[in-house]
Chain A
């Protein structure tokens, strides 16, 4: 049973576009929400993370929007580049413990 539901499964944007990936959860005890980027044949790399006490966090071209009441959070990639083409995973954990991952979204940025 997947505790974090992620959508879409894949998306394609043109260079400069803004891919948006959405995640939803049910467990209100979750208190840490990271996003990971994974390239083929590599381990995931932490991109950005947020806690429920803020509604938005930006790091470079990556922005997390968090809606606590709706139990949803999303990743926006501003001014996307072909090098951003990768699989992105959202995740959640409670009490700083093990992560529950979404199913992943494959993003393709066309030049």
Chain B
């Protein structure tokens, strides 16, 4: 299957700092990428849809000023968690859609805010 690379896989940051997570589609161009948040033993919760060259579309209840998304190229989308707090600690996962809704997921990023 297609490869989507997410980096870093784990990050620990201090409360009040910002963290950037990268999502790259390595072998195909992705006009649309998605960002999810997953709590322990729970399903994936869609946070936002990232479209190359335009503003991201956020799901209801997701603060766009808190979770900044940039999709500057067809292979790279970034999620920046600004002014992180302990409640932002979670598992963040990106996906890239190749064609016909076939979505491939990154490895996930475990964010811990201390």
Contacts and interface: CB of A to CB of B under 8 A. Distances in A.
B101 A44 contact: no
Contact of B105 (A32, A45, A104, A106): A45
Interface centre among B97, B103, B105 (most CB of A within 10 A): B103
Contacts of B1: 45-46
A98 B43 contact: no
A45 B93 CA distance: 12
Contact of B44 (A32, A41, A42, A44): A44
A60 interface: no
Contacts of B110: 41
Given A41-B110, A44-B105, A96 B6 contact: no
Interface in A38-94: 41-46, 49, 89, 93
Contacts of A44: 44, 93, 105
Q: What's the dominant secondary structure at chain B's contact region? A: strand
B108 A41 contact: yes
The 3 closest A-B pairs by CB, nearest first: A43-B105, A96-B101, A32-B101
29 contacts: A34-B101, A34-B103, A41-B108, A42-B108, A43-B4, A43-B6, A43-B93, A43-B95, A43-B107, A44-B44, A45-B105, A46-B102, A46-B103, A46-B104, A49-B102, A89-B44, A93-B101, A96-B97, A96-B100, A96-B101, A98-B46, A99-B34, A99-B46, A99-B101, A99-B103, A101-B43, A101-B44, A102-B43, A104-B43
Given A43-B105, A103-B43, 16 more contacts: A34-B101, A41-B110, A43-B4, A43-B95, A44-B93, A44-B105, A89-B43, A89-B44, A97-B101, A98-B46, A98-B49, A99-B46, A101-B43, A101-B44, A103-B42, A104-B41
Interface of B: 1, 4, 6, 34, 41-44, 46, 49, 91, 93, 95, 97, 99-108, 110
